[in-house]
Structure 1
Amino acid sequence: MIQVNLDRVLVDRKMTSKKLAEEIGITTVNLSKLKTGKAKGIRFQTLDKICQVLNCQPGDILAYVADETEESD
């Protein structure tokens, strides 16, 4: 499972979701879907813009967390 840590990075950078959405050119609704993990995917172009604006790496925003069912196999 992919965990999205965008809220934490936004807090660290003292930036609002609304401001980030404006800076990267997406709607606040789509950014909210990304932040909550409800988005089915993310374009590399969008990820690139987020990293540019927040001065971070993709690994600061996204993390892989093994499912409990995978660990028990």
Structure 2
Amino acid sequence: MIKIKLKQLLEEQNKTMYWLSKNTGIRPNTISQWVNNEELIEDKKVKEINVETLDKICKVLNCRVEDILEYVEDEKDHSK
């Protein structure tokens, strides 16, 4: 499972979703979906990650991809 750590990154940098939207041109709904991915119902979760979007976020937050995304093994994969 891919964990999106954008919420933590924004908090660490004292930035808001609004600020990120204004500085990247990414729709607020898209940013909100990334930030709130863990709390969303299954059919509302992020299904695709656009490389261009990821690039814009990395540029304005001056971070690396691994600061935003993390691979975490699913519990059900662990039980095999």
Q: Considering the TM-score relative to the shorter chain, is it more than 0.5?
A: yes
- Corresponding position: 1:20 with 2:20: yes
- Using structure 2 for the length normalisation, give the TM-score: 0.85
Distance 1:49 1:62 in 2: 14
1:8 aligns with 2:8: yes
Partner of 2:76: 69
Asked if residue 57 in structure 1 is aligned to residue 64 in structure 2, the reply is yes
> What percent of counterpart residues are identical?
41
Task: Give the superposition deviation at 1:36.
Answer: 2.2
| CA contact 2:24–2:60 (8 Å) conserved in 1 | yes
Which consecutive segments of 4 or more residues in structure 1 shift more than 6 A?
Answer: none
Q: 1:13, CA displacement in angstroms?
A: 1.0
TM-score of the superposed pair, with normalisation by structure 1:
0.92
Deviation at 1:35, TM superposition (A): 1.7
In the TM superposition, residue 65 of structure 1 has moved relative to its aligned partner by 0.8
**What is the letter of the counterpart of residue 41 of structure 1?**
E
Q: Aligned pairs, how many?
A: 73
Question: Displacement, 1:12?
Answer: 1.1
